Amino acid sequence: MSGAFSLFATQYFTTSVDVLLTNLIVRNLLPSALIWITSGPAAADLVPSECVHRVTEVRGFNDPQKEEYFRKRISDQSLANTIISHLKSSRSLYIMCHIPVFCWISAAVLEKMLSQAESGEIPKTLTQMYTHFLILQTNIKHEKDYEKNVTDEDMILKLGKVAFQQLVKGNLIFYEEDLRECGIDVTEASVYSGLCTQIFREEFGLYQGKVFCFVHLTVQEHLAALYVHLFFIKNCSQIFSSLSSDLSMFFKYTLSDLHPRAVNEALQSKNGHLDLFLRFLLGLSVESHQILLQGLMKRTRSSSDSNEETVEYIKMKIRTINSPEKSINLFHCLNELGDHSLVEEIQQYLRSGSINKAKLSSAQWSAVAFVLLTSEKMPDEFDINKFVEGNNETKKLEVFQKLLPVIKESRSVQLRNCGLTDESCAALASALRSNPSHLRQLTLFNNNLGSSGVNFLSTVLKDPQCKLKNLW
């Protein structure tokens, strides 16, 4: 691309983005350049696979970079070490630290809470971290020169309404009219600079004006969940007077059946765009969060509310759904609700080394996947024989399907005598094609692969995303 830089160094011109992109695509400009068109995962999943030449995922920080960020961000190295240790103690938080914005949020919250005589529990879950961040941002607002009489509760509800409406629509950016529809003055939105960033953009011939977005999708998801939760607590139906029918999927129900309905909506989502929203929504119902929010909200919880039914409903769903990825998100939901019963059972089996002799249920195998993926150091090698004793191909195939997310993250995978089907080979092909592909060694001894299964694997071996070095 050195030629590109010299071109722009010697030629200056003004053009619109659409004209620039068109000329790049038809190769009138920089004919030898590679073109990268980026999008969020939710939007990218909607593009037909035959229209995509190559997929590259920007995964953010790896583990050493996570620590490097906090050591550079926090000047007090002793405090930085304490923050890193705390985040490592909660795997759900440490995993999220691959997102640079989450590192920024965590650093802001934990630096304040650990360096001052703050009361209250140090955040251990995702919902706790974002709720503390919200409180931190409202306190920053109070320090600004802002005289308009808008309460924290009103402003958060309005921003939450925007967040929820745009989340359901699948929008990451929105416009002044979207703010006005929710009763927000543009000046008010700019005061919450940590939550809503103003982006100035001109689109020639289409739109001229201010464009808005939340600092990160996770912030939008947290505010959207808080809005939905407060609606049921406060029963303020007038808040939703402007909602169209297609956006009211959660609002026909009482608080007692809100959670199962939300679980079902998230499970039905093909691209998982409601997964984090669900985690936040469930986490906000925990009593400790209600106490935390009392400084912002007049009323946050009914004394008769209970999460026991929600926990049991989620466990039932874990037993019945076939998607390992969706099961893992439900375990994250149980973590937000403070229920660790299934996970603790599995940890005992893993510690004893007797898991291959145990007769585990479908839900327990899902818990195995969750425990392995969230362990402080996930094993590099996956051997099916460590989980299933003997040569029971039916059992091995069932365990293979349940532990596929673990297989995708492993460097060496041993799948002897598994009775792999064409569907299993397609799943393996997906793991080999994933970006980044972790698999370097794959053993498939004594599997009667059909012609379709062989084709799946032989095709993926030609894929540039496949990094496999040894295949037996």
Tell me: the pLDDT tens digits for 422-447?
Answer: 888 888 888 787 766 778 888 888 88
Q: What is the pLDDT of residues 341-364, one digit of tens each?
A: 888 888 888 887 778 888 888 888
**Residue bearing the bigger pLDDT, 299 or 203:** 299
Burial (CB count <10 Å: 0-12, 13-18, 19+), residue 335:
buried
Q: What is the predicted pLDDT for the residue at 446?
A: 81
Domain-ending residue, one of 371, 403, 418: 371
Of 333, 337, 343, 404, nearest in space to 371 by CA: 343
The verdict on residue 105 lying in a domain is: no
Averaged pLDDT, 108-135: 85
Q: What is the predicted pLDDT for the residue at 13?
A: 58
Are 328 and 289 in a shared domain? Answer: no
Are 344 and 247 in a shared domain? Answer: no
The verdict on residue 170 lying in a domain is: yes
Q: What is the pLDDT of residues 202-261, one digit of tens each?
A: 444 445 567 888 888 999 999 999 998 888 776 544 444 444 444 455 555 566 678 998
118 is written with which tokens?
């703050």
377 is written with which tokens?
């150091």
Q: What is the average pLDDT score of the chain?
A: 79
Helix (H, G, I), strand (E, B) or coil at 281: helix
E-strand ranges in 34-110 read none
Of 431, 440, 443, nearest in space to 472 by CA: 443
Q: What is the DSSP-derived secondary structure letter of residue 51?
A: G
Residue 7: which pLDDT band, with cuts at 50, 70 and 90? very low
Are 271 and 301 in a shared domain? Answer: yes
CA distance 312 to 81: 38
Q: What is the predicted pLDDT for the residue at 164?
A: 92
Contact (Cβ atoms closer than 8 angstroms) between residue 158 and residue 183 = yes
The verdict on residue 128 lying in a domain is: no
State residue 144 phi and psi, 5-degree precision.
-85, 160
Residue percentage of the chain with pLDDT more than 90: 21
Question: Looking at the whole model, is its pTM more than 0.85?
Answer: no
Domain-ending residue, one of 351, 371, 391: 371
Are 389 and 461 in a shared domain? Answer: yes
Indicate if the pLDDT at residue 44 is higher than 90: no
Are 292 and 324 in a shared domain? Answer: no
Sign of CA dihedral 226, 229, 233, 239: positive
Q: What is the predicted pLDDT for the residue at 1?
A: 37
The verdict on residue 176 lying in a domain is: yes
Indicate if the pLDDT at residue 84 is higher than 90: yes
Are 430 and 468 in a shared domain? Answer: yes
Averaged pLDDT, 39-60: 63
Length of the chain: 472
E-strand ranges in 372-422 read 381-383, 412-414
Are 402 and 322 in a shared domain? Answer: no
Are 279 and 174 in a shared domain? Answer: yes
The verdict on residue 143 lying in a domain is: no
Q: What is the predicted pLDDT for the residue at 293?
A: 82
Q: What is the DSSP-derived secondary structure letter of residue 199?
A: E
The verdict on residue 59 lying in a domain is: no
Residue 48: which pLDDT band, with cuts at 50, 70 and 90? low
Q: What is the predicted pLDDT for the residue at 93?
A: 92
Are 165 and 20 in a shared domain? Answer: no
Domain-ending residue, one of 282, 305, 328: 305
Indicate if the pLDDT at residue 2 is higher than 50: no
The verdict on residue 99 lying in a domain is: no
Question: Residue 333: which domain range?
Answer: 307-371
Indicate if the pLDDT at residue 201 is higher than 60: no
Q: What is the predicted pLDDT for the residue at 46?
A: 61
Are 252 and 365 in a shared domain? Answer: no
- Domain count across the chain: 4
Residue 471 is part of a domain; what is its CATH number? 3.80.10.10
Residue 263: which pLDDT band, with cuts at 50, 70 and 90? very high
Are 203 and 180 in a shared domain? Answer: yes
Are 176 and 265 in a shared domain? Answer: yes
Q: What is the DSSP-derived secondary structure letter of residue 441?
A: E
Q: What is the predicted pLDDT for the residue at 342?
A: 87
